[in-house]
Structure 1
């Protein structure tokens, strides 16, 4: 059932860990926020002493190579936001200020589960303001070679249908679909970890990526199977993680979606591209409130790379 009121955290909660790409330690505090605040990152400890507030919106995305980055690297950016964003969207949280003292969200165990556990420590509260939904009115689609992503009308819910196809028997072709709810996110999606191929590690290191990756936070794929001693959390953990990433990336629409998302061999780049396609024309979407017939204009949308290195091309 769709939530009619906006939500936030009951209290602040802290997390810390290393960034999967930078390898640097970072501390993060999730703060409650007022209605219509949305999700925003307060980037602190920037060289020069100036903090920067960055809205978690598709308009602030500056990179989608191996992870999703918002903000400008020269004046302050935050990378690898997708797992945290997925946890917030998956649990139905509308308003949070994320205070972070480094350029990358900590990878923790490579999934969204640690963020879910942190949120559960403090709880979620409803606000008096009405929640607004972004309803897909017209189909939009983007293609990149054999890969595609599309958003289709769906008045009832936000449905995801994700398929991957890797030319290795360790992964192969996997497909997962679901209607997003907090229960489904917790049970079927939140624990799926990022993954990467051992054959790509040296290339990633030389490019400045995956410096913090380890078997503690990444499913590592060797020539003959999974390197991690504990194996997989789900038989189809790979596609579930791609679905997790899609939830996080698509939450950059700025409000919960009413629509169906479908992708084949997708990733951060395609997730961002399909949002750009959706917002390219006002006729593609409407903003609605649950229990009303009200539709809003475009102006009301705003203010208000392991998944990190999970490969985008396959």
Structure 2
């Protein structure tokens, strides 16, 4: 299987969920071995330089995964666009934006899927590099846990737990194996969610300034406030899987293994990536010369 990038540059505009700022976003093709990178076009000097993505750059995980560089450059809420890039197996791309946060769009990854479809995905003349999990790696903290186990493919299972009547009406666990299930059908439409009682606290801390019923599921003391309700009966846990896929793809390569989490979030997802990379006996880098040798989980989306 070969590396992938976009066939052409694609642009979009939107609003940052937490900053509330208008954002112009451009996703550019990039050469082989480039990886996923970001650049703030509104900043000059060292702050405006290209940022090659790495798990160690995720230094703010309050309600999102946010890059914070040594120069203080921030690129926030990257998990949804990273989730879409993972779904299409994009290895190389330069993402430019003129604000400190990726636009939230409708709160899911579907608008980014549409952008990638418009741009088109092409194969490049270099083999794709995978990370294959060789042994179980687990991170636990404060009643939460995440782990990766060896598995010849890619599957994700998550369980959520919230003490709220809305969550008692939907299954708390969902599992998807990408060898036989579709990211676009099962995951991409699931939106981010939040509680009305948290809004005042969030805004005092400079978060959630761009959130509304058009880009998030909002929950009051008893019910979902969005007039159209939920897109899936279990949209909450599916969105957590969407987030996890994006958080895990921050490593920049598809991972061959089975991920499972209980009450997981951005911080612990990132901690798992760092734990894997810190233990060289837990993984190996692999390439596949022939497509038939590649696990079926990575053939979900076709290129041009």
The one of 244, 269, 272 equivalent to 2:270 is 272
Tell me by how many angstroms 1:72 deviates: 2.6
Measure, in 1, the Cα distance between the counterparts of 2:67 and 2:144: 24
The residue number in structure 1 matching 2:302 is none
Q: How does 1:4-43 map to 2 (within 5 A)?
A: 4-43=1-40
**Change beyond 3 A, Cα 1:158–1:87:** same
CA distance in 2, matches of 1:30, 1:181: 28
Match for 1:188 among 162, 186, 189? 186
Aligned twin of 1:157: 153
Q: Secondary structure at the match of 2:165?
A: coil
Aligned residues: 288
1:199 corresponds, among 197, 200, 205, to 197
Alignment partner of 1:254 is 2:252:
yes
The alignment's C-alpha RMSD in Å is 1.6
Can you give the 5+ residue segments of structure 2 that lack an aligned partner in the other structure?
291-304
TM-score (norm 2): 0.91
SS in 1 for 2:174: strand
For 1:55 and 1:221, how far apart are their aligned partners in 2?
Answer: 36
TM-score (norm. length: structure 1): 0.88
Give the superposition deviation at 1:179: 1.9
Which SS does the other structure have where 2:50 is aligned? strand
Asked whether 1:109 is paired with 2:106, we answer yes
Distance in 2 of aligned mates of 1:133 and 1:97? 20
Confirm whether residue 141 of structure 1 aligns to residue 138 of structure 2. Answer: yes
**Corresponding residue for residue 173 of structure 2:** 175
Q: Name the stretch that deviates more: 208-217 or 70-79.
A: 70-79
Uncovered stretches (5+) of structure 1, i.e. residues with no partner: 293-314
Equivalent of 1:55 in 15, 34, 52: 52
Q: Report what 2:228 is aligned to.
A: 230
Query: Residues of 1 paired with 2:45 and 2:282: CA distance?
Result: 42
Distance in 2, matches of 1:216 and 1:280, equals 40
Deviation at 1:252, TM superposition (A): 1.3
**What CA deviation, in whole Å up to 9, does each residue of 1:117-163 have, x standing for no partner?**
11111211011100110001111111112210001111x21110111
Aligned to 2:62: 65
